[in-house]
Amino acid sequence: MPSETLWEIAKAEVERRGSNGSEGDGVETGEKSVFFIGSKNGGKTTIILRCLDRDEPPKPTLALEYTYGRRAKGHNIPKDIAHFWELGGGTSLLDLISIPITSDTLRTFSIVLVLDLSKPNDLWPTMENLLHATKLHVDKVIMKLGKKNAKAVSEMRQKIWSNMQKDHPDRELIDPFPIPLVIIGSKYDIFQDFDSEKRKVICKTLRFVAHYYGASLMFTSKSEALLLKIRGVINQLAFGIDKSKSTCVDQNKPLFVTAGLDSLSQIEYQHTKRCQGPCKRPSIC
């Protein structure tokens, strides 16, 4: 019963906002949406508040939260608007994923998956369940949109593939997520004290998943320098600011890999060059 109540509240809120917004195809110049999903208590709200320059303590996200930000482009020019959605509850409220992602919003939508690096045993199930549920719904919306506007769907696919060079050696081996995806590993300050072998396996796994889905990958913590990097990436999704080209794949430092700049050979090399002797864990390596 409580989940039905949450669903009704969230659905009513989206409909209310929709009725106050634009009509027609639902796409306005300068409007984008960013949907934060991920680990429970993983730091999603903190990242959003930091991106919006809001100096306030984060509150627990109970179901589906919404806020927005504006950014001036110039004198007498309409401000860009970014809609920020946040799914609470980790993987317990997957049904709510379908609310903000519609055929009207899909073309300007991005996903940010925040994973709590301090809980390595929860990383894979959280990532797998959330990405699977999100992709399943996005694929359905794309099919619906394609029946009305095949050109829009074609342009979306071209945009996703544009992150990877045409001569990239892995181009035939990956399956990009249908909309822009960023994977953020939070609480790096705790993760950096883990055993070296554990960090190596986690870094390799997350790099592989991000590369396969054509996503950007980065680690963050309470460090102001790391938060500024994350803010830059989110601003790129929300306001179209130029994408960073910096890269860090050293497992002893916070990872920062922009979509399309990694490769399977580099991921494997970063692992094998640190291996001592024959690999004893082929299921992981």
| Per-residue tokens: 110 | 């991005």
The enclosing H or E element of 139 equals helix 120-148
Q: Give the residue-averaged pLDDT of 97-124.
A: 94
Rounded CA-CA distance 282/187 in Å is: 28
Residue partners of 98: CB distance under 8 A and separation at least 6? 137
255 has pLDDT over 80: yes
Distance of CA 196 to the CA centre of its chain: 26
pLDDT of residue 25: 43
Determine what percent of the chain is predicted with pLDDT higher than 90.
Answer: 60
User: CA-CA-CA-CA torsion for 247, 249, 252, 256, nearest 10 degrees?
Assistant: 40
Burial of residue 169 (number of CB atoms within 10 Å: 0-12, 13-18, 19+): exposed
> pLDDT tens-digit profile of 221-242?
988 889 889 999 998 999 887 7
pLDDT band of 14, cuts 50, 70, 90: low
| Per-residue tokens: 235 | 């601003």
118 has pLDDT over 70: yes
> pLDDT tens-digit profile of 170-199?
999 999 999 999 999 999 999 999 999 999
Can you tell me which residue has the tokens 């050979």?
265
Q: Under a CB-based contact definition with an 8 Å cutoff, are residues 34 and 85 in contact? A: yes
| Per-residue tokens: 50 | 């930091």
Burial 53-63 (b: 16+ CB within 10 A, else e): eeeeeeeebeb
pTM of the model: 0.84
142 has pLDDT over 60: yes
12 has pLDDT over 70: no
User: Most confidently modeled of 111-120, 148-157, 225-234, 235-244?
Assistant: 111-120
Rounded CA-CA distance 105/115 in Å is: 25
Helix (H, G, I), strand (E, B) or coil at 61: coil
Measuring CA to CA, which residue among 177, 266, 176, 188 is closest to residue 230?
Answer: 188
Determine what percent of the chain is predicted with pLDDT higher than 70.
Answer: 82
Identify the residue with better confidence: 135 or 18: 135
| Per-residue tokens: 205 | 């796994």
Measuring CA to CA, which residue among 121, 128, 142 is closest to residue 183?
Answer: 128
Rounded CA-CA distance 221/127 in Å is: 19
Measuring CA to CA, which residue among 243, 241, 242, 237 is closest to residue 82?
Answer: 237
Other beta carbons within 10 angstroms of residue 128's beta carbon come to 12
Other beta carbons within 10 angstroms of residue 112's beta carbon come to 27
Other beta carbons within 10 angstroms of residue 17's beta carbon come to 13
Q: Give the residue-averaged pLDDT of 57-81.
A: 81
pLDDT of residue 163: 86
> pLDDT tens-digit profile of 126-139?
999 999 999 999 99
Q: Under a CB-based contact definition with an 8 Å cutoff, are residues 193 and 161 in contact? A: no
pLDDT band of 1, cuts 50, 70, 90: very low
User: Most confidently modeled of 69-73, 114-118, 155-159, 266-270?
Assistant: 114-118
